[in-house]
Structure 1
């Protein structure tokens, strides 16, 4: 199993009021197949690509009313210690560290800007068995209206090196782990193009072989196109909301255009 360095995205779970509809949609768009629902964990079901675990879906807890959304989990060797750091750094602990059978320990956190994410301390379940390939997780970004608070939080909780894009028109930062440093997650400031009622969130990217074809399939299955498709130095991508309202992005990493941006340390 792949070991994930502290702070690296290691898993993604979508909560859907209608799990079966969510499964049908992502099967169509990303080509996923599905494992058996785990009744002891509320119907939690793993998604697979080429037979490898790439994500999971789950219904809300009984009696809980939540909007459909993706939750990104960041790896930690000690969920309790990371949760304590998160609180000390101004975050909100939504769910205290909780053991999940033999699989690991989870916690749910909101950073000061309001974007929610998970912490995962692995035991039997380490996370993505496939990533950065077609049908799998590729990247994620914190969307926030308070970039300074979010940047400070992320570098306080995780062993990140933070760097900001040298572009006066875009407030975007990248966080890396290790030496010389591998980018693992981004941060984007939410500007006036985001309606006030849209909360901060973590946007998850999934890799597809053809961005435009994936968008066409997604729209045909009821998704809303929010941005793109456009081609960047990182790939051709488009931001979508699935039929139940969960935001995500598809990216074709084989189609690139332009020079990589210059980054300066935060």
Structure 2
């Protein structure tokens, strides 16, 4: 590739783009025109808008995320795991001249059926920045990934973020609540309950009962619920993925969300490194750009 290229993280509800010159980000843009929020525009029209002034015909563009799904611009196939990290740069899907979509990853086995889009690029970047055997990628759908220096071996998805949003905003748990406040104490209390009680479903209604009966401040329900869900997730996944606390763990997310998982893991005796998700994504794009250039 040339010394100038464009990286785009195009998800369901948001699009983020970065313009690079000689390995340095010289500009960035963000829009809410995710693939499910195009508002009547074509993907190509949105693409032209977000890259306006950045791109000449020979400027390479690498895109990742839901833009490659069946709801996106063009379907980019999933690579079945185990998959080599190097395969990501060798199986790009062309969309326009010098415009490609990075493939996702999939698992299809007797006891695990999973897919990821976008996180594979973060994962590639995380591997270059912090080699670990387990990567935790929190978000709407948290990914727990087993990898070595060459391959993605396996991954699982936990819908913790989406479940928190649904329960708080579309269920009886959050009905009639005031504006929610940050509370580390409430979060830790939720984590403690979540990691020490595997019976999550009965505990969910107790969140509602606790604030109705005055046991839980109504402004701290979100924090307690977050702790309960993350604590339960971390306890379940460490039992399955990490029988001891010696596995190197790297968390890839924004700092605030990463800290929640650091706290929950710490209560179970695990330590983890933290990488910023945007930094990991951009490092992954840079790795693919360099591989294609060579």
Between Structure 1 and Structure 2, the one with more helix by share is 2
Using the size of structure 2 for normalisation, the TM-score is 0.27
Structure ranking higher in strand proportion:
1
User: What's the TM-score, normalizing by structure 1?
Assistant: 0.29
